[in-house]
Structures are given as C-alpha cells and as structure tokens.
Amino acid sequence: MGSEPTTLLQGTLDLLILKSLVAAEMHGLGISRRIQLITGGTFVVKPGSLFPALHRMEEEGWISSYWGDSENNRRAKFYRLTKPGRKQLEAETKRWGRISLAIAQALQAS
Amino acid sequence: MPLFTKAGSFLRNIFFPNHGEADLNHEVQSHLQLLTDENIRAGMPAKEAHRAACIELGGAEQVKEQVREIQIGNWLRSVLSDFRYGFRQLRKNPGFTAVAVLTLALGIAVNATMFSLVSAFMLRHPPGRDPKRVAVVTSINPGNGFLPEANPVSIPNFLAWREANQVSADIAAADQYRSVHLTPVSQSTAGQPQAIRSAAVSPNYFSVLGVSPEFGRTFNDQEIQPGRDRVVILSHELWERQFASDASLIGRAIRLNRENYTVIGVMPSSFHLTGFTPQLWTPLEVTTQTANARKDRSLLLFARLKPGVTIEQARAEFSALARRAEQDFPEIEKGWGAAVRTFPDFLLYNFGIRNGLAVVMTTVAFVLLIACANVAGLLLARAAGRRKELAIRLALGAGGLRIIRQLLTENLLIAFLGGALGLLLAYWGIAFVRANMNFNEAMSAVPLSLDSNVLLFALAASTLCALLCGLAPALNASRTDVNNNLKEEGRSSSSSHSHSRLRTTMVTCQIALALFLLVGTGLLFRGIFMIEHQNLGFRADHLLTANVVLDAARYKDSIQQSLFVRNLLPQLTQLPGVEAVAATSDLPAAGPGAVTFRIQGQSEVPANQQLTASDNVVSSDFFPTAGIPLLRGRAFTEQDTALTPRVIVVNQEFVNRHFHDQNPLGKQIQLNVSGTASQWSEIVGVVGNVKTYSEGIIDDPQVYEPFLQRPISSFSLMLRTGSEPSALASPLRTAVAQLDAELPLGNVMSMSALIDRQKGGNPFFVRVLASFAFLALILAGIGIYGLIAYSVGQRTHEIAIRMALGAKRPDVLRMILRDGMKMTAIGAAVGLALALPLPKVFDAIFYGLHLREPRLYFLVPVTILIVALLATYIPARRASRVDPMSALHQD
C-alpha cells in the first residue's frame, strides 16, 4: 500500500463508498476496510477523507445513517444506501465505465 | 427529494450545530474505539493499540474540522462563529477596542462629512429628464478671466445657432442673473418692496430641461410677444415665503417692476440648479436686434441633443458656428469661441468648486490613512501578543486561510464599529458644515445631507480600512510557525525583524504626512491672515452700503437715471449722522467688472491682447466717501456732466502699467463699453489703488468715470457715517421711499459686514483644514507612542539584561529616545521634502501673494519633534524603571 492510495481521483471515493455499501450496511471503519479489500489493497481511505465524504453524501441524500451495535458490541454509526444512492451508483458506474474505456483507448492509440 | 434533504441539512447545521457536533464527536470516538479493538485483536498490547489507532485516525479534532468544512452552510456558520469569536476578543480588550474604533471613527467621520460636499455637488443629478442629454452652450471669453468658458451667449448668436445647428431639435435660452422688484400685494402687510433674483427664459426652457410645474403651467410660444408677456412662474420657495403657499394665486396678478404680471405656475421645490438661485421666471424677450445686441452676452443656451448625437459632435457643431460668427462679425466676435458641456458638467464647472473639493478630499484621505496606519500598528502589536493563541488554533486544524479570515473578520468588526460611530459623528459634522456654509445664497442652497451616497462611501471606506489595517497583520499571523511559537514562551529579546520594520515604516509615513498637512495648512492660514490684514486701499469702517436697481419701467433712459441720483444723494447727505454720500457701479474691493480700452496713440491690437482695467462709474463724492486718496490731478465734481468734455480718473497701478514714468494727466483713453458709442476721455486725476477683491491681494489697473457722464441703472449707495452705520439703515430706506415707494433697496449692510461675506467660505474652510491637520498630528503622536510603548514592552527582557550588566537608567532612557527620534527625523525629512513645493502650489491660489514662510518650515518640524519626544518619553521612562531582577524572573 505504497504512495498510490493518496491520489484518489475526484469522484472515485464516492463511487467506492457507494459500491461497498451495496453488500451491507456498515460503519465507517467497515467501509474503509471493505474498500481496501475490494480494491486489492490499492486504496486505503483515511478517516480525514472518509468522514467528510460520508457526511457530504449523507447531506446529498445518497446514504443514510443510524446508530447500532458493532460485531463486538460497540456503539457505532452505520451507513446504508438510499434509493437515490442506488441511482447515483448506477450513474457513477456508467460514467466510470465510459471514462476508463476512453482512457484505455487513448493510451492504446499512442 | 435531494433538494429537500439538503435544505434540511442546511437548516440543521445552522440552527442546531450542537446536535451535529455531538453526533460527530461520538462517531469519531467510536471509530477510534473500533480501530483500537482491531489492533488489540491483531495482538497489540492495549496501550500500543490505542496509540496506533490515534496515529491512523490522524487527530480527532482535525478530522472533525474537515467534516465541518464540507457541511452545507458551513461557510455561513463559520462566518457567524468568526463574528462571535471576534466580538469576544474585542470585549476582552476594551482599551484596544476603544482606541482602534475611535481612531477609525474620527477618520471616517471627517471623510464622510467632506464627502457629503462631493455628493451634493457632483453626484446629484440636475432636475429634469435625462439631464446628460442636455448640452449647455456658452461663449469662451478670449480675455480669460474668471471661468472663461462659462460666458453667456448674445441674443443674435442664440437665434442664429438655434436655426443653423444640426445636433439639437430644441434649444432654450435663459438669462439667469436678473433682478426684479416685487411690490407686496397689499402695502400694509408685507411692507417694503423687494429685489428678487429672477431669470428670463425662452418659452421652451422648461420643456427642454424636461421639468413640469407643481401647479399651473409653463410658458407657451405666444407669451414672448409684447402685450402677452406679462406672465410669471414662481419658485416653490418664493410662493411659500411671500404668498403663504396660496394655491389660488394661479391666474392672479402680482406686481413686478411696477407692472402687473399674471402668475401662471409654481415650480416644485426640487427644481433647483446648483449655483443658480432665481426665485421667479419671466418670458425672455428676443426682439431687441440693435447694433449692440451682439456685445450683450447674457444667455445660457440649453440644447436637448437629438438621439444618437454625442456631446463631442455638439461641441464640434457649436465651435464651427462660433467660427462662422467670428468671420461674419470680426469686430465683436474676434477670439470668442463656444464651449459645450453636459448639463451636470456645466453646473459643476460653473460653481468652480472642483479644485477645492479635491484639496479637501486629499487632506481627509491623508487623515484616514494615518488613522489606518495607527490601527494597523495596534493590530500588529496585538498580533504579536496573540501568536501563541493562533499557533494553538493552527495546531487544532484551522487552515491558514481560515485564520486570515478570522482576523479580517475582527478587523471588519472594528472598522464597521468605527464606521457606525464615524457616521454618527459625520451627522453632526454635516450639520456643522451646513450651518457654516451660508456665506452666499448659492452656497446655502446646496443640499447637504447624509444621503445614500455618503452612507455607501462610509461603508466602502470602512471596508477599505479593515483591509488596509488588517491585511499586513493577518498575513503575518498566518505565517506563524506552530512549533516555534508554542516553544518560544515569549522569551524573544526583540520582536521579529519584519514586524518592527513594517511598523517603523508606518510611523515614519505618518509623521511625514502629518508634517506635510501641517505645513500646507500653515501656509493657507498665513495666506488668509495676510489677506485679512492687508490695506484694502480705502476705509471700510463706518460705511453703510445698499444696492439699487433702477427698473426700465420708470427709469427709461439715462436722463431719468441721472435725475434720480441727483435728487437722492443730496437728500441722503441731509440725514443726521451722515458725513458723505456716493453712488458707485461697484463697491470698492467687491470685484468690479472689467473693461477693455485703448490709449490714444497706440496701435490696434487683437481682441485677446487688448488692455483691460477694472471699470467703475462713480458719483462726484465717491473718493472722499470711500476714503481713497487722490494722488494727482483732481477728482470728479458736480460740473462733470453729460454736457461737458468726458473725463476719467485712473489709479496708480494703471499709471505704473501703462504710462511708466510719464505724466498721465491730460492723456486720452477710450473705454470699450458695451451699449455705448466709443468716445475719448481725458485723464484728469490719479487715485490710490484699491484691491480688486477684498479676499484677494491683486492691484488691477482701475478706471473711474463720472456717473453723470455715463449713467447706469444698477449701482450701490455708500454712506459714510459718524457712528454705527447700521443705525442709518432705516433712515436710508425712508429717504429712498420718499422718492420712489416701489423701489427696493438690496443688501443694506455695513461695508465691513459685506467684506466678511465676500471672504465667503475661506476662513471656514481653513478652520476645517486646520482641524484636520491637527487631528493628523494627534493621530501621528498616538502612533509614535503606540509603537515605542510596544517595542519597549517587547524589549523589557533585553533592557533588564542591559541593566543587570551595568547600564544606567539614563543610558536606557537615551537608547529608547534615540530610536523614537530616529524615526521622527526620517519622517520629518520626507515630509519636509514633500512640503517644499507647496508655496508654489499656493501661489496659484493666492495670486500675487508670494507666500514664503521659512519660519513655518522650522516651526512645524519642531512641533512634530516635541510631540514625538513626548510620545516617546512616557514609554522610555517606564523602560528605564524596569527592575532587572523581577523582569528576568518573569519568564
């Protein structure tokens, strides 16, 4: 997990958070670990980036939060995907597909 | 739906920040707990696990701050919290707050007060529709003189230009400077007849300007014809004052110039042109096409420009028309051009106040700069004291920008408090200026008030102050190095270098500005003093004066005018207490008109190089009555009449300029008087010089002609009295009324009162400027005091060490004083260099005075040095009282 994780593309973090919440409702640390897992350790999200993103997305209405108990019975704030959040995920996924395709083409061309 | 969610979040964030805060706090704590748990499960000892979790979290407060920053409404919330914090800071430091707010308040108050003048003169629109599309056409006088480009236009030129020009569909003309006699409707009630300022205007005058009457109507085109032209429109003020706001006056007759005029309208009180004060309007008669009509320039032309025509095009058009007139009538029109200005521009130019306003505004801007420099100095001093506080805030995750913003918010608070207090002071300031600006009708008619322009100006000035005062300290503070400042423990032996250099520069500039202002004001004072105490060339004491205008209705020709004066003067001489009586076209030193002339034997010269002299027509006893000494030859006598050879008396300056050492007596000169045929006159006497203006110092060549040889309809009476002149005002009125009950006397007042009035605003404005300069000196003194006191405070440690090492009290005192004096000396030198060219500038204002006041260049720096010495001495003495032991133990 070298220096790469720090340079997350704008919008990528949102996409990863939304994606990781599809599987289950999770607290902040869970989301962070989930992203680490599904990206094969490429992205490590620090609390300083994670919490502002979560709060922003909650204000956008893409996710909602509630207080619950963690796996080892600690009080923790859990986040879950809302309906607009699922739509946003679809839109973001499509957009990302287009972007990655375009970038890949561009790189092959040269 | 998302919009709704957002709005909800916004409101929650603004109004219930605490709820969100607690939640956020719990969340971060729980995150930390989860991380710790994770580390423990990975096999770390509890303490180690917590430490690693803290490192991964990266600081709870910073994370929270980052979340707060992205929250909706964060900006507003943080601004509010900045303001709250700022208020707390200001309350904690009442002394600092009071000094800073008061300093800025003074600066803003003087600026706002003076800006009300700018607003009244330059930012008010003239009345009427789209005044910028009205061009005012005037003649350019080739002989220069006062406001050469505001000379009126003759009737023939008006008629020709109205027909020929292509730029305007409609041109109106107005003779703004007339006077009529108003006889009260019923003799019993209102008493004396009055001379009223009036204007004669072409029927389309009001429609060209685009103004409508409050009651009644304006003139129609038929009302210029003789027989139908006895109609009048009143100003709101006159209607109110003289006719008790009687609405039934429309259609009724009032008595003007011994004739009945029908009132057809009343203009609203908003119809007022800066600098012009007619109280009523009558139709302008344009039928007088005599040979002399071209010389009689009396009309201002108002041209409503056709759509799409620019003011430049209009200027070119009327210049071309003026050139055509010059070609057609070279005798009279030679050198005369046409000037075109927009209506607002013309009013400003015509008032001739632009330069005065510029001087005053520059002065007050200096005062404000000095005030800002003071407050900036205070802020820098405080910033140094707050370094630790700021370092803590930076360490807790506040961004550098956020710190700058917070400090600027504090400065804005100070500046707006200062601005509010300043406006309050300006409210009184404006009332004071208004009460003092009554030296003439046009001035007192200027609508001075704390209007929206002044409010906006004060707001802008306050904001500017906040930026000026605050930017340097704020930038300085945001560069604060967290580690150094938390460690430093205030043990610095002297404040950081860049700080002290900035403050030294500011104080030096303050001193330079204060010195410059003081020298300038000193020169102005000296100039005015010299003018007030000069010998005017005549005896102004014990003289009663009054203006008479003989109306054409009763005094049709020069014979009747002569007759009236011949009858009146002996009667006035009979009044008890009167020693001598004279009639004169112009009172001495009251700015007489000028006349061009030729000396017999000299060749013709072009129009713009013709000789000019002040022109006076006086009755035979004028010289003894005024107390003007006869130097050579003889004065006029009763025997110099229309039937005897024409004679003339000149003054000494005239002889000096035109006859050098020759004997002027017996020489012939020819005055170029409009409306009369040119005739040669013989110089029979030479009298002493009289100042052309009592408020100036110029001796112009003067010529005097006997009244009986050149009777005039408008003149002044002078009565030399044995006692208090105003006591004779009522006998004078009675004597005149016995000859003509309907003839008003204008401005019945003593000569000395008249001279006071002529000085107009000068003494007042000098007083105002002087108080500004004084304010600047005080502020600069406070600035020096603040700086030295601060640096002494900073150097307590160093001073203690010096004293512990054997320095004596006087040594310390001397060291501090030397620092203060060094700054003062540099500032004073810069200020002196700036002030050196000032006398040259003032030469243009006090023409011929040659103000050279070397003493001033010594006195002002000495004053500044004394103030600076005092301001330095107090903190220096405190420094020398430092007890080394306790000072060194302090930390």
| Average pLDDT over every residue of B567-581 | 90
CA distance B31 to chain A (A): 6
pLDDT of residue B303: 92
| Average pLDDT over every residue of B226-236 | 88
pLDDT tens track for A25-73: 888 888 988 888 888 888 888 888 888 888 888 888 899 889 888 877 8
Q: End-to-end CA distance of chain B: give it in Å, rounded.
A: 61
- Of B393-407, B525-539, B649-663, B777-791, which has the strongest mean pLDDT? B649-663
* For residue B564, pLDDT beyond 80: yes
Beta carbons of A48 and B2 less than 8 Å apart: no
Contact assessment for residue B884 and residue B804, using Cβ atoms and an 8 Å cutoff: yes
CA distance A75 to chain B (A): 7
For residue A77, the chain B residue with the least C-alpha distance is: B27
Helix B497-532 to helix B838-845 angle (10° resolution) is: 30
| Average pLDDT over every residue of B539-556 | 86
* For residue B112, pLDDT beyond 80: yes
pLDDT of residue B494: 44
Contact assessment for residue B157 and residue B294, using Cβ atoms and an 8 Å cutoff: yes
pLDDT tens track for B735-756: 888 888 888 888 888 888 888 7
CA distance A101 to chain B (A): 30
User: Which of B5, B31, B33 is closest, CB to CB, to A59?
Assistant: B5
Place of tokens 């007596």: B665
| Average pLDDT over every residue of B243-250 | 86
Identify all chain A residues contacting B27, using CB atoms and an 8 Å cutoff. Answer: 28, 51, 77
CA distance A31 to chain B (A): 11
pLDDT band at B769 (very low <50, low <70, confident <90, very high): confident
CA distance A19 to chain B (A): 20
pLDDT of residue B490: 45
For residue B35, the chain A residue with the least C-alpha distance is: A29
* Element of type H or E holding B391: helix B387-395
Name the burial class of residue A3, with classes exposed (0-12), middle (13-18) and buried (19+) by CB atoms within 10 angstroms of its CB: exposed
- Does A61 touch chain B if contact means CB atoms closer than 8 Å? yes
Ranges of each domain in chain A? 4-109
Residues 6+ apart with CB under 8 A from B686: B630, B631, B632, B633, B649, B650, B651, B652, B654, B655, B664, B665
Which is nearest to B101 in space by CA: B378, B445, B493?
Answer: B378
Identify all chain B residues contacting A51, using CB atoms and an 8 Å cutoff. Answer: 24, 27-28, 31, 63, 66-67
Q: How many Cβ atoms sit within 10 Å of the Cβ of residue B641? A: 14
Beta carbons of B30 and A46 less than 8 Å apart: no
Identify all chain B residues contacting A78, using CB atoms and an 8 Å cutoff. Answer: none
pLDDT of residue B704: 93
Q: How far apart are CA B718 and CA B547, in angstroms?
A: 9
pLDDT tens track for B253-312: 888 888 889 999 999 988 888 778 789 999 988 766 666 777 778 899 999 999 989 999
Beta carbons of A61 and B37 less than 8 Å apart: no
Contact assessment for residue B594 and residue B615, using Cβ atoms and an 8 Å cutoff: yes
Q: Note every long-range contact of B852-858, with CB atoms under 8 Å and residues 24 or more positions apart, other chains counting.
A: B853/B522, B853/B523, B853/B526, B856/B519, B856/B522, B856/B523, B856/B526, B857/B519, B857/B832
Identify all chain B residues contacting A58, using CB atoms and an 8 Å cutoff. Answer: 9
pLDDT of residue B489: 45
Identify all chain A residues contacting B35, using CB atoms and an 8 Å cutoff. Answer: 29
* Choice between B159 and B532, residue whose per-residue pLDDT is larger: B159
Token pair, residue B831, equals: 């200020």
* For residue B582, pLDDT beyond 90: yes
With a pLDDT cut of 90, the percent of chain B lying above it is 16
Identify all chain B residues contacting A60, using CB atoms and an 8 Å cutoff. Answer: 2, 5-6
For residue B12, the chain A residue with the least C-alpha distance is: A59
For residue B31, the chain A residue with the least C-alpha distance is: A29
| Average pLDDT over every residue of B684-699 | 83
- Does A48 touch chain B if contact means CB atoms closer than 8 Å? yes
Identify all chain A residues contacting B40, using CB atoms and an 8 Å cutoff. Answer: none
* For residue B495, pLDDT beyond 50: no
Token pair, residue B9, equals: 């979040």
pLDDT of residue A6: 45
DSSP string, B753-791: HHHHHHHTTHHHHHHHHHHHHHHHHHHHHHHHHHHHHHH
Beta carbons of A47 and B57 less than 8 Å apart: yes
DSSP B121: I
* For residue B487, pLDDT beyond 80: no
Identity of residue B318: F
pLDDT of residue B330: 82
* For residue B503, pLDDT beyond 80: no
Q: Note every long-range contact of B490-494, with CB atoms under 8 Å and residues 24 or more positions apart, other chains counting.
A: B490/B388, B490/B891, B491/B797, B491/B891, B492/B794, B492/B797, B493/B795, B493/B797, B493/B798, B493/B801, B494/B791, B494/B794, B494/B795, B494/B798
* For residue A2, pLDDT beyond 50: no
Ranges of each domain in chain B? 2-72, 152-335, 354-533+761-889, 551-742
pLDDT band at B890 (very low <50, low <70, confident <90, very high): low
Beta carbons of A84 and B2 less than 8 Å apart: yes
pLDDT, mean over chain B: 82
φ, ψ of residue B641 to 5 degrees: the values are -120, 180
Place of tokens 């000037």: B339
Q: Tell which A residues from 71 to 100 touch B, by Cβ distance under 8 Å.
A: 72, 74-77, 84
User: Which of A48, A61, A74 is closest, CB to CB, to B30?
Assistant: A74
Token pair, residue B583, equals: 């009639």
Beta carbons of A29 and B63 less than 8 Å apart: no
Token pair, residue B781, equals: 């003194």
- Does B28 touch chain A if contact means CB atoms closer than 8 Å? yes
Contact assessment for residue B299 and residue B199, using Cβ atoms and an 8 Å cutoff: no
ipTM score assigned to the predicted complex: 0.83
Distance of CA B114 to the CA centre of its chain: 7
Q: How many Cβ atoms sit within 10 Å of the Cβ of residue B280? A: 24
- Does B144 touch chain A if contact means CB atoms closer than 8 Å? no
* For residue B498, pLDDT beyond 70: no
DSSP string, B224-236: GSTTT--EEEE-H
Q: Tell which B residues from 50 to 79 touch A, by Cβ distance under 8 Å.
A: 56-58, 62-63, 66-67, 69-72
pLDDT of residue B760: 60
pLDDT band at B201 (very low <50, low <70, confident <90, very high): very high
Return the bridge partners of B683, or none.
Answer: B648
- Does A34 touch chain B if contact means CB atoms closer than 8 Å? no
pLDDT of residue A4: 44
pLDDT tens track for B336-370: 889 999 988 888 888 777 777 777 788 788 888 88
Assigned CATH for A4-109: 1.10.10.10
CA distance A10 to chain B (A): 15
* For residue B583, pLDDT beyond 90: yes
Least confident of B164-178, B396-410, B843-857: B843-857
Identify all chain A residues contacting B39, using CB atoms and an 8 Å cutoff. Answer: none
Beta carbons of A29 and B28 less than 8 Å apart: no
* For residue B552, pLDDT beyond 90: no
pLDDT of residue B143: 67
Q: How many Cβ atoms sit within 10 Å of the Cβ of residue A107? A: 8
pLDDT tens track for B205-217: 999 999 999 989 9
By three-state DSSP, how is residue A103 classified? helix
Q: CA of B874: how far to CAs of A50, B784, B844, in Å?
A: 58, 11, 43
Contact assessment for residue B144 and residue B490, using Cβ atoms and an 8 Å cutoff: no
Helices (H), B200-310: 205-209, 236-243
Q: How far apart are CA B134 and CA B112, in angstroms?
A: 31
User: Which of A29, A56, A77 is closest, CB to CB, to B35?
Assistant: A29
Beta carbons of B30 and A47 less than 8 Å apart: no
pLDDT of residue B207: 92
| Average pLDDT over every residue of B535-563 | 86
pLDDT of residue B493: 42
Burial B223-247 (b: 16+ CB within 10 A, else e): bbeeeebbbbbbbbebbeebbeeee
User: Which of A27, A47, A59 is closest, CB to CB, to B72?
Assistant: A59
Q: How far apart are CA B171 and CA B340, in angstroms?
A: 13
Q: How far apart are CA A10 and CA B149, in angstroms?
A: 67
CA distance A22 to chain B (A): 20
CA distance B383 to chain A (A): 30
Q: CA of B24: how far to CAs of A52, A85, B38, B307, B524, in Å?
A: 10, 22, 21, 66, 68
Return the bridge partners of B170, or none.
Answer: B304
Q: Output the CA torsion B856→B862→B868→B874 (10° steps).
A: -140
Contact assessment for residue B540 and residue B752, using Cβ atoms and an 8 Å cutoff: yes
For residue A52, the chain B residue with the least C-alpha distance is: B67
